[in-house]
Amino acid sequence: MLILLRTQSEVRLRTVTRLLAAQLVAQPKQAFSTTTSEHYDIIIGGGGLVGTTLAAAVAKNKTLADKKVLLLEGAPEFKGFDGKGPYHNRVSAINSNSIQLFKAIDAWSHIEASRYKPVKQMQVWESNSDALIQFQHENFANGVACIIENDLILDAVYARVKEACNVKVLNRARIESVRLPQDSGCSNSEVTLQDGRQFTCELLVGADGANSVVRKQMGVDVFSLNYERMGLVATLELSDDAGDNAVAWQRFLPTGPVALLPLSEKESSLVWSTTVSHAKELQAMPPEQFVEVLNEAFCRQYPRVDLADKAVQALNAFFGHTSAQHHRQYPPRVCNVKERSRATFPLGFLHASSYVCRGAALVGDAAHRVHPLAGQGVNLGFSDVRYLVESLASGAYAGFKLGDKQHLVKYEQKCLTKNVPIMIGVHGLHTLYSTDFSPVVLLRSLGLQLTQNLPPIKNLFMKQAMG
């Protein structure tokens, strides 16, 4: 026993000397980092919709309640949201999965108390044939999605974040560089801001968008495509024939889809994906001309593929529908575009080969970016948030470190299972509808019409897209 004790103390002594030696060698750096870096359990890089929601969700989770969270946002402090003011041009179609998340973090009541528009039905049709599909729940019992302004969502989740005592928000905080355990050999991740402040954390979450700094440091492969298209958004005023304006409209034009998302009885939001030059042209047009071009886009007759039209008719006949039963609705007329509401943004496809590594994880656009044609982008981000918080909570409750890859991998598996089919689907639709080559038009028209006529398949798609 004595011998044992002696060996033990010897070991300790040796370790101490070694540690001292190591400290002496690395002293300048050590001294620097110990005086300036602050430690958090989780640092979220990026205070956008997804990053802020993640902070709120972590704060709300009982198991993670004792974790210190730092939210880094490059922009100045969020100004808040005015529910009485004009509608913002950046809106999102939020599916029921995301609404459940908002309910779980107590942010939904905040949104409900302000303004949002439930969509009862969606109609999607194309320009080269008669094919058409309509999505709705039986008897319009439930909305298929809600159109909510991005700033309202942000306002709601910020309110929850501000209540939380374990979350700190740092504005005007731009990440200069990141060091992960795989590079440094330390057990923590390190973040340095552009103003020189340093932080360490067990888990760094990259919610910093498509050009994520965190992702670059993780060294994961990224599959990305530039669609050479731009999205144009605007807030529109509708003429009096809009009714209750509860339908979302999307028409695939040869240049890309144009969509009207209802905001209120008299207003809708526009998302128009088109070629870069066309988008610039549309943005620069005088309002009257823009409205005219837009109205024309929804009803203009394009060169048609007769064979596809006949096939669609035959298919409808086969299912016992006459074309009269299958009447197409037309969107309400747009009568004005709100001043300075037109804005453009580039469209692309991006998917990271891996969402996690030791000490870091990606959420939202940092991990995946899709075409807005199915309104999936931000919903996939919110589903990432759900999965990440679930995995972190069950991992922490099993004694894992937050940055341990072993339980982070479970987050990645859940995300990939959900995200990849949707992303492939959305990318596929984009590709399918960017051509007017007759055989493709024929096939896509048949496919769309078949889906419209076969409720089980249609419901499957709806379930996927609407959470």
Partner 1 sequence: MWRRTLLASRNLKATPVNVVVRKVSNAQQQYTTLENASEVKHHENLSKDWWNVNGPMAALHALNAIRVPFIRDGIISRGRVEAPYINTTNVLCKQQLLEVGCGGGILSEQLARLGATVIGLDPGEELIKAARKHLSDHSPELCARVEYKMESIAQHANSNCEHYDAVIVSEVLEHVDDKTALLEACVRTLKPGGSIFITTLNKTLPMWMGGVVLGEYLLNIAPIGTHHWNKLISPLDVQRILDTMDCHTVLINGSTYDFWSNTWRWINSSQMCYALQAVKQRISY
- Contact residues for partner 1, defined by CB under 8 A: 4, 7-8, 11, 15, 62-66, 187, 396-401, 405-407
Task: Identify the CA nearest to 396 among candidates 68, 168, 157.
Answer: 68
Q: How far is the CB of 185 from partner 1 (least distance, A)?
A: 10
For partner 1, the closer CB: 64 or 334: 64
For partner 1, the closer CB: 400 or 461: 400
For partner 1, the closer CB: 63 or 459: 63
Question: How does 353-385 read in b/e, with b if 16+ C-beta sit within 10 Å?
Answer: ebbbbbbbbbbbbbbbbbbbbbbbbbbbbbbbb
Q: How far is the CB of 394 from partner 1 (least distance, A)?
A: 8
Does residue 108 contact residue 118 with C-beta atoms inside 8 Å?
no
For partner 1, the closer CB: 320 or 399: 399
CA angle 96, 51, 220 (to 5 degrees): 105
Q: How far is the CB of 398 from partner 1 (least distance, A)?
A: 5
Helices (H), 194-329: 213-218, 276-284, 287-299, 306-318
For partner 1, the closer CB: 259 or 396: 396
**E strands present in 28-127:** 37-45, 69-72, 91-94, 117-119, 121-126
For partner 1, the closer CB: 187 or 239: 187
Q: How far is the CB of 222 from partner 1 (least distance, A)?
A: 23
Six token digits for residue 455: 């409720």
CA 83 – CA 320 distance, rounded (Å): 47
Residue whose structure tokens are 């990305």: 224
Q: How far is the CB of 138 from partner 1 (least distance, A)?
A: 38
> HSE of 197 in the Cβ direction (CA atoms, 13 Å)?
12
Helix/strand/coil (H/E/C) assignment for every residue in 44-65: EECCCHHHHHHHHHHHHCCCCC
For partner 1, the closer CB: 56 or 64: 64
Q: How far is the CB of 52 from partner 1 (least distance, A)?
A: 24
Q: How far is the CB of 124 from partner 1 (least distance, A)?
A: 39
Which residues pair with residue 234 across a beta bridge?
270
Listed in sequence order, the residues at least 6 apart from 415 whose beta carbon sits closer than 8 Å to its beta carbon are 355, 367, 383, 384, 387
Six token digits for residue 360: 């870091």
For partner 1, the closer CB: 59 or 334: 59
Q: How far is the CB of 190 from partner 1 (least distance, A)?
A: 15
